[in-house]
Amino acid sequence: MSVKNTLTAAAIMILSMFFLSYISHGEVVHPNKPFKTFPKQIDEWVGKERFLDENIFDVVGVDDYFLCDYDNSKSQQINLYIGFYQSQREGDLIHSPKNCMPGAGWNITRTSLEEMEIPGIPSGKTKAIKLIVKKGPHKQIMLYWFQSRGRIINSEYMQKIYLVIDSITRNRTDGSFVRLIAPVTNDNEAETLNRMKDFAKQLMPLLNDYIPS
């Protein structure tokens, strides 16, 4: 990371902490529905719900979440994680996988933005952050985005900026993090990625039922 980007990131973090610490703490925002009711079947994908270890739950600081392994008839798998934060004023900020994955032993080999078709929004498309990660012989693709206060955000910097703006103008700092992970099958990244994007296309309308706009 360049010196300029480092200073920019530091400035954003300092401003975020200042505004979130000193602006009114009166917000009360809950999910539209509790995530324990999130569908375990999405089209051809059938899910097995999982739960965070207690120590991990304490670290991420979520107020509600959903973690599930979905499999299709070909035994292909996509892991879905949704973390909801009622408030990010008290230090429980959404964590970026770019910080967490290396700590778990995964090496980020590539990062980019990936366009996805999403029904129900004016453009019909949005972008997610894509990471290619490796650990030994294992390779995975991760797609993630921040879905907060009516926005789909694909930048850690912009997530922090909107957080400050909305805390001032709307007295809201609630937010959600959505992440998909799939192992690369047959060493074919394109095939795995297309499968994940099709899953995301079916997932998005369901997210709108749970995540406050």
- What's the pLDDT score for residue 46? 98
Amino acid (one-letter) located at 188:
N
Where b means 16+ CB within 10 Å and e means fewer, 110-126 reads eeeebebebeeeeeeeb
As a whole number, mean pLDDT of residues 68-95 equals 90
- What's the pLDDT score for residue 3? 59
- What's the pLDDT score for residue 121? 72
CA nearest neighbour of 23 among 166, 161, 212, 150: 166
Q: In the 8-state DSSP scheme, what is residue 194?
A: H
Residues whose CB falls within 8 Å of the CB of residue 190, separated by 6 or more in sequence, listed in order: none
Residues 210/32, Cβ–Cβ less than 8 Å: yes
**Is the pLDDT reported for residue 72 higher than 90?**
yes
Which stretches of 23-82 are DSSP H helices?
54-60
Strand partners, 37: none
124-167 per-position pLDDT tens digit: 899 999 999 999 999 999 999 999 999 999 999 999 999 999 99
- What's the pLDDT score for residue 13? 56
* 16-24 long-range contacts, CB within 8 A, separation 24+: 16/93, 16/160, 16/163, 16/164, 19/164, 19/167, 19/168, 20/88, 20/89, 20/163, 20/164, 20/167, 20/173, 21/89, 23/89, 23/167, 23/168, 23/171, 24/171
Mean pLDDT of the chain: 88
**Is the pLDDT reported for residue 25 higher than 80?**
no
- State how far the Cα of 136 lies from the Cα of 106, in Å rounded to an integer: 9
Q: Which stretch of DSSP H or E encloses residue 64?
A: strand 64-71
* Residue at token pair 């965070």: 52
**Is the pLDDT reported for residue 201 higher than 80?**
yes
As a whole number, mean pLDDT of residues 51-55 equals 92
* Residue spans per domain, the chain: 3-210
**Is the pLDDT reported for residue 24 higher than 50?**
no
- Give the pair of three-digit tokens for residue 122: 């004016």
**Is the pLDDT reported for residue 8 higher than 70?**
no
94-131 per-position pLDDT tens digit: 888 998 898 889 999 999 999 998 877 777 899 999 99
157-197 per-position pLDDT tens digit: 999 999 999 999 999 999 999 999 999 988 899 999 999 99
Residue predicted with more confidence, 93 or 135: 135
